[in-house]
Amino acid sequence: MNTDLIKDVFVHSEAIVDVGARVGARTRVWAFAHIVAGAVVGEDCNICDHTFIEGKVVIGSRVTVKCGVYLWDGLIVEDDVFIGPAAVFTNDPRPRSRKHATEYPVTRLKQGCSIGAGAVILPGLTIGLWAMVGAGSVVTRDVPDFALVVGNPARFRYWICRCAARLKAASSRGMWICDCGRRYREIEPWHLESEDGHAT
């Protein structure tokens, strides 16, 4: 690890941060984590024990990666994402031993989404803004913004707020409300936006 290139970052003595990895300010990297050269980790992240971040992974700011998570090339993690312990990501739809793809499909975790413990995310999918994947779920298709999905295969259960509470149908058609005060509009099937037109 080249500590001259990492400012205001905590790296545990048993962690490995390769020269050429970029780690943002105030990020914490705990024991037995390995961040490979070329990987980008944003500011204010928490990279927990026994994690691995491959060299073409991009992680935004304020992201939590819990213990036992391995992030492979092709994964883009936007700001404010939570990845629960032992969540599994894949990047090769047809893997074979000692055969390596020249390019991997992009899997995108959009801002604020949460991946439950032990969930499995197949390659090339998008998990929507502030969506939530239930623990142990197997995700085989894209997850819409603000959706809760659970099961194997993961299926839509209901809409959730940015605060993670379940949304309630409002009296106006296509409107959804949360006890926290936020309001959402279903502008088309499977597409929810906050009432002011911004998904966040």
| Domains, the chain | 3-160 (2.160.10.10)
Alpha helices in the chain (DSSP H): none
Torsion of CA 138, 107, 84, 119, to 10 degrees: 10
Structure tokens at 134: 């239930």
Structure tokens at 148: 């809760």
Q: Each residue of 67-96: pLDDT tens digit?
A: 999 999 999 999 999 999 999 999 999 999
Q: Which residue, among 144, 132, 122, 137, has the nearest Cα to 192 in the 3D structure?
A: 144
Q: Each residue of 88-135: pLDDT tens digit?
A: 999 999 999 999 888 999 999 999 999 999 999 999 999 999 999 999
Within 10 angstroms of residue 183's Cβ, the number of other Cβ atoms is 15
Higher pLDDT, 3 or 18: 18
* Backbone angle region of 196, left / alpha / beta, with phi > 0 → left and psi within -120 to 50 → alpha: alpha
| Coil, strand or helix at 33 | coil
Say if CB 47 and CB 27 are below 8 A apart.
yes
Q: Is 4's pLDDT higher than 70? A: no
Q: Is 9's pLDDT higher than 80? A: yes
Question: Which residue bears the tokens 């099961």?
Answer: 151
List 115's β-bridge partners, or say none: 83, 133
pLDDT computed for residue 195 by the predictor: 80
Say if CB 36 and CB 15 are below 8 A apart.
no
Q: What is the mean pLDDT of residues 2-17?
A: 80
CA distance readout (Å), 155 to 22, 45, 68, 100, 185: 36, 29, 25, 31, 21
pLDDT-above-70 percentage for the chain? 94
Q: What is the mean pLDDT of residues 173-183?
A: 93
Per residue in 23-37, is it b (16+ CB within 10 Å) or e — as a string?
bbebbbbbeebbbbe
Least confident range of 133-137, 138-142, 171-175, 194-198: 194-198
